[in-house]
Structure 1
Amino acid sequence: MKKILVTGADGFIGSHLTEALVREGYDTKAFVLYNSFNSWGWLDHCSDEIKGKFEVFAGDIRDPNGVRTAMKECDAVLHLAALIAIPYSYHSPDTYVDTNIKGTLNIVQAAKDLNIIKVIHTSTSEVYGTAKFVPITEEHPLQGQSPYSASKIGADQIAMSFYSSFDTPVSIIRPFNTYGPRQSARAVIPTIITQIAKGSRKIKLGAVHPTRDFNFVKDTVSGFITALRSEKGIGQVINLGSNYEISVGDTVQTIAKLMNVEIEIESDDQRFRPEKSEVERLWASNIKAKDLLGWTPEYGGMDGFEKGLKETITWFLDEKNLMSYKTGIYNI
């Protein structure tokens, strides 16, 4: 496989993945969301050695003709384009169905018709809902506790149905709570870091008792590339996680320690999910990724988490990066 299409290439994980593919020597096409500003999202800020070395296709994942056009002459598709903000899904669920479910249908339908060699579809740990057992394996029940997670369950099922029905070579990668440079402030780690970086010592948050399995973006990217190169992932759902559980509250204190500040947590009602929608516990089993793909996280455990947080904090403390974030408002 030489020519790779990355959908959602303008986003957080997608931009890191696009850069990594270029560095690995792949002929890379970046599918970005069309807009009148001709913005390529985070790819506008990619490193100098990457600029000019990838193709850009501006379109909309909801448009089947545009998707098919972008996929022509590509060998593989890494499908990351999605709406992912959970709070926004509460009041605009229809857009999540169109983008996440129908967008995925557009990808696998075109892949079937164009004889694409491999499709890697991006899932999310949110499809598991609150853990019924830990660590969470790929056999864990799926629970749509938010419109977002329900739309991703639908997208996963559409993708896998094409493997079962038409032998479309689909793999599903299911990352747990990816964090790192460029992440949106709608996520908890950037929310904490940016508030501290802007001088606040009273950090506004929602629930702090839920636990998460945070996966540094470099590990998530390496998981995608490992899956791209392996034949063993076809027809499989594979978790990418650090196999380490930490609460949001402990995450706050860890970040404060690394940034050498003392903070106070302030509850902000608008940041709480509805009670039955809150995912209380996430902790990944990554045994299948190790066994099938030979993938292991470089940022696992508490030491790895602190290492990833230090890299993330350093990036956010760069003024030209920090100025892109509106820390004074709640980012839905």
Structure 2
Amino acid sequence: MKAIEKKILVTGATGKVGEAFINAFFGDPKQKGTIRALCHQRSLTPNNRLEVIHGSISDRPTVQKAMKDITHVVHLATTKEDSETIMDVAIKGLFWLLESCRNTSGFKRFILIGGDAALGHYFYPYKNPINEQQAHAAYPGCYALSKVLEETMLQQYYVQYNLDGTCLRAPWIMQGEDLKKHLTFGKQVFGVPVWHKMIKAQTALEYQKENIIPLMLDANGNPMKRNIVHMNDLVSAICISLDHIEARQQTFNISMDEPFNYGKAAYYLLKTRKIKSVKMKTKYHSTWLDNTKAKFLLGWRPEYGLEKIIDEAWGNVSL
């Protein structure tokens, strides 16, 4: 696809991925164009290449106004386990967006940021690495169902209207000290599991004081393998996908080359920082999100692996 002067609509722009993408786009001299951010309540730091529209994605006139003269959409707006709002945001909002895209002159590409929740995350056992041909399998709850429906809607717009779109399927997104905040028995924990709730309160307090981290075990009793992607790697995939000819009507797994292995992480932290771990049994299943397709077709490469994410979270080695 030939490079053009882009006018990108970003939904969910005030979320951490939205802000990271906007900053990367403006910081890259190769990226020409402007961004229009559709924000529900919060706003963004002013920039002469940024326009902000406030309103609800579920409101058709708001979406039509936001879509005027747009060439690309980066769709990030979502809601978690909120049954009162999730259909308005994930289904109704996406429908208004897709309808506007197909009726907007000069529109180029719709980029959906999906997630491995559409494949069941770690709730279901998979014998093989998960590629883009894997059937959808939402885990219990409305959020995972919404991710399945989003991907399905976009794919049907390929069929019905030959819309140009791309789905970037991302697992758990990490940056900065996120991993350190996850591997703690403290009450302020990032993500799930919430480790301190799985053991006695006094034991959790002792582990926290001794700086002991959890070593997550899967349903088979082996160190858990869990899919993660660093924020920078996801953002780079978005930027590549804006114009790449091979991204048209494709779905890509955007993840580390290997899943995050809690056993390897525990060993690395012990070796480099003398941080001890304790095994924590869970009912969840190890999985491997295969990123081969994105590397082959897009030329994308993740820069972050297990050790680099740990080093960023914990800082310089203290030994």
- Answer yes or no: same fold by TM over 0.5: yes
Query: Deviation of residue 174 (structure 1)?
Result: 0.7
Q: Which has the larger radius of gyration?
A: 2
Which of 133, 139, 145 is the aligned partner of 1:145? 139
Structure 1 counterpart of 2:301, one-letter code: T
Contact 1:202 1:266 in 2 (8 A): no
Measure, in 1, the Cα distance between the counterparts of 2:273 and 2:89.
Answer: 37
- 1:229-308 to structure 2, matched below 5 A, reads 229-248=243-262, 251=265, 254=268, 261-262=275-276, 280-299=285-304, 304-308=305-309
SS in 1 for 2:8: strand
Within the candidate set 104, 108, 113, 1:117 is matched to: 108
Alpha-carbon distance change, 120 to 314 in structure 1, aligned in 2, over 3 angstroms:
same
Structure 1 residue corresponding to 2:242, chosen from 208, 217, 228: 228
**2:126–2:287 Cα contact (<8 Å) kept:** no
Q: Could you tell me which residue of structure 1 aligns to residue 89 of structure 2?
A: 99
Give 3-state SS (helix, strand or coil) of 2:52's partner: strand
Runs of 5+ in structure 1 lacking a partner? Answer: 45-49, 316-332
- How many pairs were matched up? 282
TM-score normalised by length of structure 2: 0.76
- Provide Cα deviations, 1:270-299, integer angstroms capped at 9, x if missing partner: xx8xx6xx5x23311111112221112122
2:169 partner SS = strand
Aligned AA for 1:15? E
Task: Name the SS of the counterpart of 1:57 in structure 2.
Answer: strand
Residue range with higher mean Cα deviation, 137-146 or 20-29: 20-29
RMSD over aligned CA atoms reads: 3.3
User: Identity across aligned pairs (percent)?
Assistant: 24
Aligned to 1:26: 32
SS of 2:297's partner is helix
Question: For residues 70 and 305 of structure 1, do their structure 2 counterparts lie closer, same or farther at Cα, with a shift above 3 Å needed?
Answer: same
Please name the residue that 2:168 is paired with.
173
With over 3 angstroms needed to count, the CA separation of the structure-2 counterparts of 1:312 and 1:182, relative to structure 1, is closer
What is the CA distance between 1:31 and its match in structure 2?
A: 2.4
Answer whether contact 1:82 1:99 (CA < 8 A) is retained.
yes
Alpha-carbon spacing, 1:140–1:194, altered in 2? closer, same or farther (3 Å): same
- The answer as to whether partners of 1:175 and 1:220 remain within 8 angstroms in 2 is yes
Which sits farther off after the overlay, 290-299 or 156-165? 290-299
Q: CA 1:307/1:30 → structure 2, altered by over 3 Å: closer, same or farther?
A: farther
For 1:261 and 1:225, the matched residues in 2 are separated by 37
Q: Deviations over 1:64-84 (max 9, x none)?
A: 222221121221011111124
Structure 2 SS opposite 1:4? strand
**Structure 2: unaligned runs, 5 residues or longer:** 190-207, 219-223
CA drift of 1:97 comes to: 2.2
Is residue 2:71 matched to residue 1:81?
no
CA contact (8 A) 1:3 1:29 kept: yes
Q: Which residue of 2 aligns with 1:330?
A: none
Superposed displacement of residue 51, structure 1: 5.2
CA distance in 2, matches of 1:32, 1:181: 26
Name the structure with the higher helix share.
Answer: 1
Deviation at 1:310, TM superposition (A): 2.3
- Say which SS state the counterpart of residue 97 (structure 1) adopts: helix
Deviation of 1:95 after TM superposition, in Å, equals 2.2
Query: How big is each residue's C-alpha offset from its partner over 1:192-214, in whole Å with a ceiling of 9 and x where there is no partner?
Result: 36949997547797965342122
SS of 1:146's equivalent in the other structure is: coil
Match of 2:11 in 1: 7
Which residue does the alignment assign to 2:50? 54
